[in-house]
């Protein structure tokens, strides 16, 4: 069985603070894929990143960065210098090889106060 | 141009009614999905179709029936609606890469179903 845990239900920060959203996953597969999606208040789901299990390089995209650590089964997401527009629910998800559906974590609601 | 579209965006109906939600993708993807997001924001896969063939059918009441007339469309029909069916339903699509790697899923805007 596979599982994704986002232990932080809600985080509130003040604009310009850095914030890290945690994601821990469980899978018996050796090859798998990890994702982050953003769900702003408008409700749509926006794809942010995909990471393959065999690629442990960290990734940076503007103010966003992701830290993938296979040893701790974690795929954490950091927003640097947060902005009000970053306020959303963020979902971490896992897809195993051979199964096309995503297993989502319960989401972390991020509120960035001005 | 909308990549994955769903209609309607909002659906309010009474218990016992039958309703359908339509989904279309113009990305040329070969796989489509239905996910359900409950009131606590938890997202769970319901169905998946690959080239019009059902490949995933999670533990979903048989009142829910997906139909894929072609690989660009995946509709969801719900019979005898119940209060517990109230949720946001998301359609998504993806394409298997030529290397065998699955590509990311693109989601539609969601359909908020309210059963009264």
Strand partners, A94: A34, A103
More confident residue, A61 or B19: B19
* Statement: residue B2 has pLDDT above 80: no
Residue A13 · residue A113 · CB < 8 Å = yes
* Nearest chain A Cα distance for residue B100, angstroms: 10
Q: Is B83 helix (H, G, I), strand (E, B) or coil?
A: helix
A47, A50, A104: residue with CB nearest B43: A104
Residue-wise pLDDT for B25-78, tens only, equals 999 998 999 999 999 999 999 999 888 888 888 878 999 999 999 989 999 999
Residue B80 · residue B18 · CB < 8 Å = yes
The whole-number pLDDT of residue B77 equals 96
Beta-carbon separation of A91 and B43 below 8 A: yes
Residue-wise pLDDT for B86-104, tens only, equals 999 999 999 875 554 557 8
Interface contacts A/B by beta carbons within 8 Å: 56
Torsion, Cα B89 A79 A93 A32, to 10 degrees, reads: 150
Q: Determine the Cα–Cα distance for residues B43 and B48; give it in Å rounded to an integer.
A: 14
> Dihedral sign, CA of A81, A72, A52, A104?
negative
Residues of chain A short of pLDDT 50, as ranges, are none
A43, A89, A102: residue with CB nearest B109: A43
CA B115, B81, B5 angle in degrees (round to 5)?
Answer: 75
């Amino acid at each position: 069985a596979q599982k994704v845990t986002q232990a932080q239900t809600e985080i509130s920060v003040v604009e310009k603070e850095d914030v890290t959203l945690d994601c821990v996953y469980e899978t018996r597969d050796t090859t798998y894929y990890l994702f982050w999606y953003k769900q702003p208040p408008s409700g749509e789901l926006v794809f942010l990143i995909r990471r393959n299990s065999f690629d442990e390089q960290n990734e940076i995209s503007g103010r966003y960065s992701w830290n993938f650590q296979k040893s701790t089964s974690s795929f954490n997401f950091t927003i640097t210098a947060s902005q009000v527009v970053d306020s959303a629910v963020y979902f971490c998800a896992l897809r195993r090889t051979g199964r096309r559906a995503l297993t989502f974590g319960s989401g972390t609601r991020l509120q960035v106060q001005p | 141009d909308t990549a994955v579209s769903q209609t309607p965006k909002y659906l309010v109906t009474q218990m016992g009614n039958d309703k359908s939600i339509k989904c279309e993708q113009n990305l040329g993807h070969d796989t489509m999905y239905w996910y359900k997001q409950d009131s606590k924001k938890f997202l769970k896969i319901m169905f998946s179709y690959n080239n019009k063939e059902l490949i995933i059918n999670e533990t979903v009441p048989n009142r829910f029936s997906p139909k894929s007339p072609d690989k660009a469309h995946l509709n969801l029909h719900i019979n005898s609606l119940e209060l517990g069916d109230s949720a946001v339903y998301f359609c998504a699509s993806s394409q298997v890469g030529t290397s065998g790697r699955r590509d990311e899923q693109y989601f539609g805007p969601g359909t908020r179903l309210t059963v009264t």
